[in-house]
């Protein structure tokens, strides 16, 4: 009897937690001070943790939650992310990674470590030190019998600068790891790609199944003397791509997105893999 009551109570609590989380997210989007945003975010994190931290959470429907979510195509995980914008133009990123571990689920809270991560393109990170972003697409790839999940994300960075991120998620002994040496050539490969550009611009970064490639806008400075200043960068009407090849994401510049077959023919040439 007690067990039945406990299960019933848990089932009843889920809709209430989801409703509260939806309310907190909406209030967060309307809040006009950092103090209020941070307060609402604390409540939201507690509700999301309670909503996801049980053995039945993986199979539930979360489509009504107005936050970014990507689900692994092989049902390995569900990844929830949201951001807290601040008055100075910076953003705090929050997230929960819900991992399907057979009969049980594992829940990992992601903690934004953007400010504490020097050279982020070279550092592998964990859930407690995470290069925060809002993920919107996941691409599984296999290397050495292990599945790696390439994540595409948006990252508001400052009043002047926005970023797009190509991240890699993998699991070792059941623990999540962010970053893998899949980009560039030589011994010192980059573990993630970060593209910075003007907050007034929009950069396209998406996976194209028909090309089997990650297609991205090429960024250039608005004036020659602005080289190296991301706040003055934007798309220049050309596109580049990353193709999965020989266990890494190989870069190809100046892609014709209107003719995917032609790009694939070029990619098969041995000179592919120029470092971006």
Give per-residue pLDDT as tens, 253-263.
999 877 655 55
Q: Find all residues with CB under 8 Å of 190, minimum gap 6, and list them.
A: 121, 122, 181, 183, 184
Query: What residue ranges do the domains of the chain occupy?
Result: 17-205
The DSSP 8-state label assigned to residue 183 in this structure reads B
Alpha-carbon span 92 to 157, nearest angstrom: 9
Q: 120 CB contacts (<8 Å, ≥6 apart)?
A: 114, 131, 192, 194
How much is the pTM? 0.89
Write down the H helix ranges in the chain.
2-30, 34-52, 260-267
Q: Is 34 helix (H, G, I), strand (E, B) or coil?
A: helix
Give the span between the Cα atoms of 58 and 20, in whole angstroms: 19
Strand partners, 245: 248
| Tens place of pLDDT per residue across the chain (276 aa) | 443 333 334 454 778 889 999 999 999 999 999 999 999 999 999 999 999 998 889 999 999 999 999 999 999 999 999 999 999 999 999 999 999 987 789 999 999 999 999 999 999 999 999 999 999 999 999 999 999 999 999 999 999 999 999 999 999 998 999 999 999 987 889 999 999 999 999 999 999 999 999 999 999 999 999 999 999 999 999 999 999 999 999 999 999 877 655 555 444 433 434 434
């Amino acid at each position: 009897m007690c067990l039945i009551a406990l299960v019933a109570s848990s089932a009843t609590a889920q809709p209430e937690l989801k409703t509260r989380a939806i309310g907190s997210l909406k209030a967060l989007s309307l809040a006009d001070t950092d103090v209020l945003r941070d307060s609402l975010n604390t409540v939201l994190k507690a509700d999301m943790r309670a909503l996801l931290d049980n053995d039945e959470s993986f199979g539930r429907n979360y489509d009504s939650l107005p936050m970014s979510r990507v689900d692994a195509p092989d049902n390995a995980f569900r990844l929830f992310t949201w951001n807290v914008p601040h008055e100075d133009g910076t953003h705090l990123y929050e997230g929960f990674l819900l991992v399907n571990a057979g009969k049980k689920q594992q829940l990992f809270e992601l903690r934004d470590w953007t400010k504490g991560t020097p050279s982020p393109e070279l550092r592998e990170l964990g859930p407690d030190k995470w290069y925060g972003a809002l993920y919107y697409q996941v691409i599984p790839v296999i290397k050495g019998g292990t599945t790696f999940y390439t994540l595409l994300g948006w990252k508001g960075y400052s009043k002047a600068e926005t970023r797009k991120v190509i991240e890699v998620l993998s699991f070792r002994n059941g623990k999540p790891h962010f970053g893998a040496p899949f980009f560039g050539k030589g011994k010192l490969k980059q573990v993630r790609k970060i593209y910075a550009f003007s907050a007034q611009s929009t950069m396209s970064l998406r996976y194209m199944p028909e090309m089997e490639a990650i297609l991205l806008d090429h960024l250039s400075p608005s004036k020659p003397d602005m080289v190296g200043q991301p706040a003055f960068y934007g798309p220049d009407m050309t596109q580049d791509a990353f193709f999965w090849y020989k266990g890494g994401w190989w870069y190809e510049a100046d892609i014709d997105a209107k003719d995917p077959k032609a790009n694939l023919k070029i990619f098969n040439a041995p000179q592919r893999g120029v470092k971006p």
